[in-house]
Amino acid sequence: MTNIAINACTGRMGQQLLFAVDREASLKLVAPLLRKGHKWAGEPVNSQFPHIHSSASLVDDLDNVSEPIDVLIDFSLPEFSILTAEMCAQRKIPMVIGTTGFSYQQKKKIESIAHDIPVVMAPNMSVGVNLTLKLVELTAKLIGDDSDIEIIEAHHRFKKDSPSGTALRLGEAVADGLGKVFSEIAAFDRCGKDAVRRQGSVGFSAIRAGNIVGEHTALFAMANEEIEITHKARDRQTFAEGALRAAVWVSKQSAGRYDMADVLGLNELFVGKNSKA
């Protein structure tokens, strides 16, 4: 049995995780976490989410959790993820972080925390997306120098960051395949009359509309043919399922920063390495 804590349990992904944990016999919800001072603190989780069987108490502080926590899953906002990671480090609780929109400094902070606890950090927990990342890296390695490369993504109208974390990760996969520095080839702001494509750049386009769960395409346009590698998520449950898979895996690891490729064994499959930091 793996004891699970879920940060920001009332959010979009938090609720998906509540339902996913509730359906899995090998997992136990011990800490559905709320923001500090939330009016629901102390109430059973199934009093606010009637379709959940668990009666674990909603809490607004890790110190109020009565059972040991094997792993904490965080899909929140960058500033809250950092605070939560610091608390987990103090308590030696492994983490899964699916939050996106981190600044460079915030990412470095999490890397520092990962010296003390195991952390899986990925902008997308979907098995399909993480296989897509490896396919994109391989394609860039093989034909990237002969292609105009574009990353196109679409999400629901409420998503706050743009481009999405997954789109950025796709761009990084392209850069890895090309053997180049991502920041030197990424093009985010082509507009106006002087927006001719820069040779060797990777362009990004973002759509925000309706209730699109998440769609990502990497386009490799050569002189006489094109390759599109596309992933479409139809339900957020796919992200929850991936996060739980990561949670069980990371609860058994030593300190370090990992990604979903490590969880799924994709690094060993493609290149015989892992991404532990």
The residue extents of the domains of the chain are 2-121+237-270, 127-233
Asked if residue 272 has pLDDT above 60, the reply is no
CATH architecture of 127-233: 2-Layer Sandwich (3.30)
**Whole-number pLDDT of residue 194:** 73
Percent of the chain with pLDDT over 70: 97
For strand 214-221 and strand 226-233, is the pairing parallel, antiparallel, or unpaired?
Answer: antiparallel
Sign of the alpha-carbon torsion through 56, 57, 59, 63: negative
**Whole-number pLDDT of residue 277:** 56
**Whole-number pLDDT of residue 191:** 85
Asked if residue 247 has pLDDT above 70, the reply is yes
Catalytic residue, candidates 134, 155, 216, 231: 155
Whole-number Å distance between alpha carbons of 242 and 128 = 10
**Whole-number pLDDT of residue 276:** 60
Q: pLDDT (tens digit, 9 = 90+) per residue, 221-231?
A: 999 999 999 99
- Counting beta carbons within 10 angstroms of the beta carbon of residue 93, is it exposed (0 to 12), middle (13 to 18) or buried (19 or more)? buried
- Counting beta carbons within 10 angstroms of the beta carbon of residue 237, is it exposed (0 to 12), middle (13 to 18) or buried (19 or more)? middle
Whole-number Å distance between alpha carbons of 22 and 177 = 40
Q: Is 115 a catalytic residue?
A: no
Structure tokens at 137: 């890296």
pTM beyond 0.75: yes
Would you put residue 199 in left (φ > 0), alpha (ψ -120 to 50) or beta?
A: beta
Whole-number Å distance between alpha carbons of 189 and 199 = 15
**Whole-number pLDDT of residue 85:** 98
Q: Is 155 a catalytic residue?
A: yes
Catalytic residue, candidates 28, 107, 109, 159: 159
| DSSP SS3 for 219 | strand
Structure tokens at 22: 């509730």
Residue with the bigger pLDDT between 169 and 277: it is 169
CATH number for the domain formed by residue range(s) 2-121+237-270: 3.40.50.720
- Counting beta carbons within 10 angstroms of the beta carbon of residue 244, is it exposed (0 to 12), middle (13 to 18) or buried (19 or more)? buried
Q: pLDDT (tens digit, 9 = 90+) per residue, 75-113?
A: 999 999 999 999 999 999 999 999 999 999 999 999 999
Residue 152 has a CB neighbour count (10 Å cut-off) of: 19
Asked if residue 189 has pLDDT above 90, the reply is no
**Whole-number pLDDT of residue 83:** 97
Asked if residue 36 has pLDDT above 60, the reply is yes
Q: What is the mean pLDDT of residues 234-252?
A: 96
Structure tokens at 31: 């800490």
Q: What is the mean pLDDT of the chain?
A: 95
